[in-house]
Chains A and B, each alone.
Chain A
Amino acid sequence: MREFLEKAGNIDRRIIYLIIFLAVATTILVKARFKSSPLPEVQRSYKIINDLPSGSVVMFSIDYDASSMPELDPMLRAMLRHCFKKNLKVIMLGHWPLGLPLGQLALDDIAREYHKKYGTDYVFLGYRPGLQAVMLNLGKEIRSVFATDYKGTPLDSLPLMRNVHNYNDIAILVGLEAGSVGDAWVQFANARFNQKIILGSTAVITPDLYPYLQAGQIVGLIGGLRGASDYETLVEHPAMASLGMASQTVVHVLIILLILLGNIGYFATRRKK
């Protein structure tokens, strides 16, 4: 018995890798789904977008790349579905140049799904270096940073952009964050221009953003795959996040069991010593 307990505390890492791989792959292959009630902060974010009058402008900032795609891409797609379903206008830009095409691909896909027209219902601005300077200048005049969209079309020739000049014309800013750009949005767009912000983030940085939510500096927070899955549930379109959530559940339980096993082994070995 003692020998078994000692071995429990010293499992080969390759076995752990195999267990994790099988757990993730199996749950995805069998398309397992677990039901959950959406978190209050996600419900709040949903309600804020849902209550916007038709024709309001929502600005999306793509501040992630492919490494955070499993969490943030489903979130973006669910939110875009919600916006287009509600006939809201979408402007997209970003501060992670390598991730911006992901936003563009999602925007094109969902716009096609809802028969939305480029220039009238949505616009893709692209990337400009300068982060804080870009955020500050957006508060004065968007054209001072983005004179044209990503295709080189002057903003004034796009019907959607004719009446959009600064944060005053943007109902909600949605920042999808895998790093610290969300902090900058709060410091420069909210604190300086009182812009309403909803942040969607990877699970790793979500705890960093809770203080902003509690202080009212952001109006909504959608954290990690769970947040994305909750939003998919709210827009009644379960997709990749709902599928991934089952894997995450199984892996979380597995990790807890492994930690438990490790501790049993640790105490068995310690007593022997």
Chain B
Amino acid sequence: MKREVPLFITFITGILIIIALFIPHKPFGQLQTTFNDWLIIVGGFTMILGLDSLLLHNWEKIKRKKEGWLSAAFLIASFFITLFWGFGEGIFFHRNPFDASATFLRYFYTYIFVPLQSTMFSLLAFFIASAAYRAFRAKDPNSTLLLSAAALVMLGRVPGGQAVAPWIFAFVLLLLAYYFFNESKKTSGTQQTVYIILAIITLILIYPVFYILLHYLNGIADWIMNIPQMAAKRGIWIGISLGGIAMSLRIIFGIEKTYLR
């Protein structure tokens, strides 16, 4: 019975919501509004549930002196300071804690919470730079293509990128030509000829690449974003949506029961 009742509620609710979508008239249309109201009310209560688990989990950590118990203590202290400060603002000063004149908004939110959260996120800039330097390697044709596309978009989407990009790509081509010439010295026969031809082609490419990037980099970056990027994104989205529909049907018809655990 413990499993059957929730499964029955899920089935009835799911079916009624689908019917309400296709028949938005009484009584089904009204039903959807009622369900939405319930969802908003239940959503409010989930916050209480979330707070309960957060506080209990961290309190357990402090009680048992588990690793990171000091951070847990800070979390609980911050929670109650925020709570009492917010309520205090209303009870003692009769003003909304988010009013422009409220000390909660001015001091706690603006000068503590916002800088802390911004600082945490801004660290990402350093990690991304370091990770890009270490991980972005032209190991094979696929990664080289990804690398080139990323470089073109990164430079094509910033002002001044169009002036810098031709020089960077010309330098890369020059390095590549040098590499081919160097390889040709170590080989002989047909292989040597192939390396020399490759080096010459690379050198010849420098001017057209320089010219194209100098004049059309922004357009190339837009094209990458609007055509190949979008095609890949659509494919991913269609896959996710089909998966979502399949999972919803499995839940409605009681095939997927893991959410009951």
Whether a CB of chain A sits under 8 angstroms from the CB of B99 is: yes
Instruction: Of the listed stretches B2-10, B193-201, B228-236, B252-260, name the one at the interface; the rest are far from the partner chain.
Output: B228-236
Whether a CB of chain B sits under 8 angstroms from the CB of A235 is: no
* B40 contacts A133, C-beta separation under 8 Å: yes
Instruction: Of the listed stretches B55-63, B67-75, B157-165, B206-214, name the one at the interface; the rest are far from the partner chain.
Output: B157-165
Which chain B residues in 15-35 approach chain A with CB under 8 Å?
Answer: 32-33, 35
* A66 contacts B233, C-beta separation under 8 Å: no
* B109 contacts A101, C-beta separation under 8 Å: yes
* A210 contacts B160, C-beta separation under 8 Å: no
* A66 contacts B114, C-beta separation under 8 Å: yes
Whether a CB of chain A sits under 8 angstroms from the CB of B96 is: yes
Please, which residues of chain B bring their CB within 8 A of the CB of A130? 36, 39-40, 43
Whether a CB of chain B sits under 8 angstroms from the CB of A16 is: yes
Q: Bound complex: CA of A140 vs CA of B120, how far in Å?
A: 40
Q: Bound complex: CA of A264 vs CA of B172, how far in Å?
A: 10
User: Looking at the complex, which one of A35, A70, A98 makes contact with B118 (CB distance below 8 Å)?
Assistant: A70
Return A212 CB to nearest CB of chain B, in Å: 10
Q: Of all chain A residues, which has the CB nearest B100?
A: A108
* A214 contacts B133, C-beta separation under 8 Å: no
Instruction: Of the listed stretches A48-56, A74-82, A249-257, name the one at the interface; the rest are far from the partner chain.
Output: A249-257
User: Looking at the complex, which one of A208, A259, A267 makes contact with B133 (CB distance below 8 Å)?
Assistant: A259
User: With A24-B125, A257-B168 known to touch, is A66 a contact of B117 (CB < 8 Å)?
Assistant: yes
Return B17 CB to nearest CB of chain A, in Å: 11
Whether a CB of chain B sits under 8 angstroms from the CB of A226 is: yes
Whether a CB of chain B sits under 8 angstroms from the CB of A238 is: no
**Could you give, for residues 118-146 of chain B, a 1 whenever the CB lies within 8 Å of some chain A CB and a 0 otherwise?**
10111001101110111011100000000
* B151 contacts A263, C-beta separation under 8 Å: no
* B136 contacts A259, C-beta separation under 8 Å: yes
**22 A-B interface contacts by CB (under 8 A):** A24-B125, A34-B158, A34-B160, A40-B222, A65-B117, A67-B120, A69-B118, A105-B110, A136-B32, A144-B33, A144-B37, A145-B40, A150-B98, A151-B96, A152-B96, A226-B158, A253-B155, A258-B129, A258-B133, A262-B133, A262-B136, A262-B137
Chain B interfacial positions (CB closer than 8 Å to A): 32-33, 35-37, 39-40, 43-44, 46-47, 96, 98-100, 105, 109-110, 113-118, 120-122, 125-126, 128-130, 132-134, 136-138, 147, 151, 154-155, 157-161, 164, 168, 171-172, 175, 179, 222, 225-226, 229-230, 233-234, 237
Chain A interfacial positions (CB closer than 8 Å to B): 11, 13, 16-17, 19-21, 24, 34-36, 39-40, 65-70, 98, 100-102, 104-105, 108, 128-134, 136-137, 140, 144-145, 150-152, 207-208, 210-211, 214, 226, 229, 245, 248-249, 251-264, 266-267
**Across the A-B interface, the 4 shortest Cβ-Cβ residue pairs:** A36-B159, A129-B43, A67-B121, A130-B40
